[in-house]
A = this chain, B = another copy of it.
Amino acid sequence: MASGGGSVDRGVDFANYFCTYAFLYHQKEMLSDRVRMDAYYNAIFKNQDHFRGKTVLDVGTGSGILAIWSAQAGARRVYAVEATKMSEHARELVKANGLEDIVEVIESSMEDVILPEKVDVIISEWMGYFLFRESMFDSVICARDRWLKPTGVMYPSHARMWIAPVRSGLVDKKTEDYESAMDDWHNFVNDTKAYYGVDMGALTKPFCDEQKKYYLQTSQWCSLHPEQVIGTPAVIKEIDCLTTSIDDILKVRAQFSSSITVETARFSGFGGWFDVQFRGSTSDPARCVIELTTAPSTVDLTHWGQQVFFLRPAPRVCQGDLVSASFSMERSKMNHRLMEVEFAYGIKDCPPVTSKWYIE
């Protein structure tokens, strides 16, 4: 299995991951993300020549929306692959929209599916938080290597990860919550000793580690206002969906720098987001290039939001200060769909600080 993280028990992976996607409520959340929907809708209908008379594979079709649009845009045949029972709803929806002669919904993991032919287009909405959470792009790579014609195009065709210094009051809230959890713990240890004669003190260190991980070392989903971005954003990873291999995305490493653009602020953390582009391919470029961005915005909010990695302490910075950092991201050893991130960052001439976060 192209898990990229060694062998993965499929039953466990299903229990941990796929099960969420079997709820219509969750599908509705994604289908109500107007930025996401508009981007895919426009990418398809403003580039209908990529679809008219063509064969299309939709990887992880969910409720089937991308497969249905592909068919409406003129595809000859659409294979819509979905690992969960959502496939049954997708099949209903295809039928209700009169497209059952064009769209074939297949309940299977992408890694197992056998198609009767290669396809002209692979379309997929595979992006997780900060692009790679969920590691679903692995399945898109698998689909591409097995089923895309040499002349085929990827929808989307490119993707980028971005990072910028941000400010946020949440950094204090997180610290307070952590401290309050530890205060509770100390009272609990005292009470347990006094009432029940057992010394729980030996667990203070592991409890502290657990709470620190939860409150301080786990990235936070945020919907940042653009004014919370206090430095120049940097691209830390760019992929061409047509050529990227699993090895290219297993670990993401980058050096970047950002200069502070506001007069003065507290540098609360690094904000991370992504964008994807629908450019077609070099030999068959899109007529109309569409971009889907999850950058901080006042109007174009997405369910992805941004991931914020809070700093402790959060230093004061001034306009023109240079933040230099090296970034690395790997998959969690315990669950290949979750990520572990490290920043080694320095501000102006201060010695660099290294911190680690989990994307859960």
Contacts and interface: CB of A to CB of B under 8 A. Distances in A.
Interface in A1-33: 9, 11-12, 14-16, 23-25, 28, 31-32
Nearest to A19: B16
A228 B308 CA distance: 45
Interface stretch (A163-171, A200-208, A352-360): A200-208
Contact of A23 (B24, B31, B210): B210
A72 B197 contact: yes
B28 A207 contact: yes
A312 interface: no
A347 B264 CA distance: 70
A30 to B, nearest CB: 11
Interface residues of A, number: 43
5 contacts: A11-B11, A25-B207, A63-B203, A97-B198, A97-B202
A213 B236 CA distance: 44
A96 B16 contact: no
B24 A203 contact: yes
Nearest to A95: B202
A127 interface: no
Given A24-B203, A24-B210, A95-B202, 14 more contacts: A11-B11, A12-B12, A15-B16, A24-B207, A25-B181, A25-B214, A31-B188, A31-B192, A41-B195, A65-B196, A69-B196, A93-B200, A93-B202, A96-B199
Contacts of A68: 198
Given A14-B12, A32-B188, A203-B89, A198 B25 contact: no
A176 interface: no
Contacts of A28: 185, 188, 207
A24 B11 CA distance: 26
Contacts of A9: 11-12
Interface string A139-152: 00000000000000
A218 B323 CA distance: 51
